[in-house]
Structure 1
């Protein structure tokens, strides 16, 4: 493959003007050929010259005027007459009109863009050059109100049954009222029978929950061995020139300290940097993080998206807004402190190639790089090892809807837009989207590639984070149980059982644990005679089975979870998981309280508290400085 004539001419111009050295030009041309992109794309992925220098020379090369759209503001009303997605994809935006002649600003001057402009805007136009940042900012400003509204309300307006904007629907209120009424009437007229019935129901629920998780671990343990090898083999054979453009969304809020870690991790990806469309998604009022991002002098593949202030102020709303300015064929979300394995994107591309055509999302595994920092980080690591390494592969194998993790979920862009992306009213938007994808006939896959995060080192911080997750699971359960017949028809019997135990069981176990612990305490202190009227012999035996075998099984599963990664030193800590369950209960009741009184509040988790973070930031900052040549 040879370098195209335009790139050769632009490279020669930059060399002659002393903006690139011969070595830099040679390296850029080699990458342009290897990655199958233009020389300009390569230069945007390097920091050898500024954006202003690059686009000044592009304007000179094409003999077109250069315009600064910050100083010469575009006509917002004119821009709003055209399709924002088309303008964003083509990077050609009408910015003004004079004497009946449209002025079109583009960051991609050349024959292909000229044809697009003539087909879309006619031949009587004036073409000028502007940087992609200026064009993107002009679009964001012109469509600020529209896209802000869509980011919040698109799903609720187009598919209200799938939105958590209404916490409880009238039919659900009626069902809750009838159940509570039946319970109170039962206590009034047949208290013993009523308590026995409830006891039987809860005991069976616990038994089913234990057995379901055991089946998931058993099935998931060997579910991915052959597919993982096939995916890894294909990923190693993928050529850079054939790889698609990949959008990376990184939603952040008041986290300037971890920005160097983020940018280092993204540069370390084994993927052509020129084919990454990286959006650092920030609230427009988060001036501290915006300023920190600017000071890093990032490559032009990094773009700061400023999300307009509106309620609810949630991560999914911010991602929905940034989605309107994304340009990739695939999209992944990473959190600010994430460190994905370098070959993750290539593995995902290979996984999509090998998966059924209805596969809309690939979920990668999550785990922690500070696993051994304290007791909480060890337990958090055991929890995630069990969840992502064993249970989610089991769900995939059984065809049960998969609640996505909050990061490292990779989407087909067309499906994400078709389904109106994330629900901004659901504070665990990822889990909700995983269930929604399955209901809409799409498939979620799980692959053996890990993103490492910072485990919470602080119990109060952990409770804030976990209570938000549990509240989101409650919202997800309420949303997708509104139409039980539709749910059953769309995901099947196995899917419904999995939904009940995996989504419902996650928060119900936390809420019910204190009740069973109290009963056990009463039995230990006062003897069996006190509780025997409410525990017929079969129920008593099943309850004892739950207490001994069920809890013992969960402790055992927690202990074996790290063996897959050969982290055997963490296994003994699984014995202390009961303390972790106590924290889960606290978080669950906090979640229930917030669901009632403040359902859309996004409880912020603080990052950067680990003692490892300072070292990571220092190392990443040094590397960033060294990469500027």
Structure 2
């Protein structure tokens, strides 16, 4: 598999088009001109636009919560277990490689139908040495990716894809601990539906309450964000028959479908989100399973920010060049997932600052803030919908979501605006640089099957 995925539109050519730059400049110019000539009217119009966006997002969340209430589809045990390939692309992960090997060894799937590869970079001798020295099951091998550009996870995965013999394929990250039954559940679903192209397992963050950490606030909010996405949003979209962005790990794919769309986009820093829409565009169905994978949060701000920057930068995506190719349903899905993520990240901090300044100025002047009550009501509805989604997702993931978490959520959302500004700048100067998330050996080392499962 050619890592550059020649012959299709990929991220090494997604630098914003001339039309996209013109649109961005036009919007920025109109807003700037309005703030100079008619500042009050411009601010009112902006607040109304934001309010409408919040209203649409709130309605979308309510619909997904209801849709996600449908029970998970349980497929019967297939007459023959298909051959399964596991890929784990590692880079500078010597500290956690032994734990990953131990976690993968506990997967419950017929050994004669299983193959796995630790995909390692040629220059990463430390990880290679640890992987070689650690005892491994007979089905788990090591693949060394030759030097080349771009040096990204999807390029490494494409190299391994050329050697994969499985009918089905999944990928895991260095810190993952998948449910041992995950592959069996996935294989049964694929066997029952020949039109199914990919399945996403829920990703759950562990021990956010018990492990003392200076990043406890970020860890908790990150876990709730994941719970809302993987326990509510994606299941709801799957029930509605809509395409959705895959997670970076624990997505299970029919190998023929993956090869049919050219594999992963080696230049796209969110190749997972891109892949889901490409598979759907090729006519494949998408779904979810409920056997989870346990992960650790990125940690402190200096780790969280580069990861979120990479996500927002990648969300610009290949499909923004010609979104109409996704069709009406695909376009709605793209706008309400990746599009909404970008817009909301940019709007959170300015909106909070606007509300805070209006209240503070009003209190200081002893007058009622001149803020439209309708706008405030709609913004409040959007916040309530977001918190409701987090609460439902947290309950399903076995996490406590209390009043303190709700009140502190806007502070976390405001940090997304910092990542938005950083991502916009990086998209211009370093569009293809992969900001890797570092994983520590001691982080989440306790029993992941019990961690995070607390009374809701």
Using the size of structure 2 for normalisation, the TM-score is 0.89
Decide which of 356, 366, 370 is 2:207's aligned counterpart.
370
Matched, 1:334 2:172: yes
| Contact 1:382/1:574, CA 8 A, preserved across alignment | no
2:187 alignment partner in structure 1:
349
Q: Which has the higher contact order (CA 8 A, sep 6+)?
A: 2
Decide which of 197, 201, 220 is 2:49's aligned counterpart.
201
Please state whether the residue corresponding to 1:448 is helix, strand or coil. coil
Decide which of 281, 295, 302 is 2:133's aligned counterpart.
295
Please state whether the residue corresponding to 2:444 is helix, strand or coil. helix
For residues 542 and 427 of structure 1, the distance between their equivalents in structure 2, rounded to whole angstroms, comes to 39
Asked which structure has the greater CA Rg, the reply is: 1
Where in structure 1 are there 5+ consecutive unaligned residues? 1-146, 618-629
1:513 alignment partner in structure 2:
348
For residues 444 and 331 of structure 2, the distance between their equivalents in structure 1, rounded to whole angstroms, comes to 42
1:452 alignment partner in structure 2:
294
Shift of 1:523: 1.0
Deviation string 1:279-313 (CA, Å, 9 cap, x unpaired) is 11111000000011111143442221111222322
Shift of 1:456: 2.7
| Contact 1:457/1:609, CA 8 A, preserved across alignment | no
| Contact 2:64/2:232, CA 8 A, preserved across alignment | yes
More helix by share: 1
- The alpha-carbon distance between structure 1 residues 570 and 456, as it changes in their structure 2 partners (threshold 3 A), is farther
1:277 alignment partner in structure 2:
115
Matched, 1:523 2:367: no
2:392 alignment partner in structure 1:
560
For residues 441 and 285 of structure 2, the distance between their equivalents in structure 1, rounded to whole angstroms, comes to 36
2:196 alignment partner in structure 1:
359
For residues 116 and 78 of structure 2, the distance between their equivalents in structure 1, rounded to whole angstroms, comes to 21
1:433 alignment partner in structure 2:
275
For residues 286 and 515 of structure 1, the distance between their equivalents in structure 2, rounded to whole angstroms, comes to 42
Shift of 1:195: 4.2
- The alpha-carbon distance between structure 1 residues 187 and 582, as it changes in their structure 2 partners (threshold 3 A), is closer
2:451 alignment partner in structure 1:
none
For residues 21 and 221 of structure 2, the distance between their equivalents in structure 1, rounded to whole angstroms, comes to 37
1:171 alignment partner in structure 2:
19
1:40 alignment partner in structure 2:
none
1:472 alignment partner in structure 2:
314
For residues 459 and 186 of structure 1, the distance between their equivalents in structure 2, rounded to whole angstroms, comes to 35
| Contact 1:562/1:570, CA 8 A, preserved across alignment | no
Shift of 1:247: 0.8
Deviation string 1:26-72 (CA, Å, 9 cap, x unpaired) is xxxxxxxxxxxxxxxxxxxxxxxxxxxxxxxxxxxxxxxxxxxxxxx
For residues 407 and 30 of structure 2, the distance between their equivalents in structure 1, rounded to whole angstroms, comes to 40
Please state whether the residue corresponding to 1:452 is helix, strand or coil. strand
| Contact 1:284/1:306, CA 8 A, preserved across alignment | yes
For residues 179 and 322 of structure 1, the distance between their equivalents in structure 2, rounded to whole angstroms, comes to 43
1:159 alignment partner in structure 2:
8
Please state whether the residue corresponding to 2:116 is helix, strand or coil. strand
For residues 188 and 583 of structure 1, the distance between their equivalents in structure 2, rounded to whole angstroms, comes to 28
For residues 329 and 394 of structure 1, the distance between their equivalents in structure 2, rounded to whole angstroms, comes to 27
Shift of 1:207: 1.8
For residues 301 and 363 of structure 2, the distance between their equivalents in structure 1, rounded to whole angstroms, comes to 36
Q: Report the RMSD for the aligned CA atoms in angstroms.
A: 2.7
For residues 408 and 295 of structure 1, the distance between their equivalents in structure 2, rounded to whole angstroms, comes to 26
Please state whether the residue corresponding to 1:449 is helix, strand or coil. coil
Shift of 1:365: 0.7
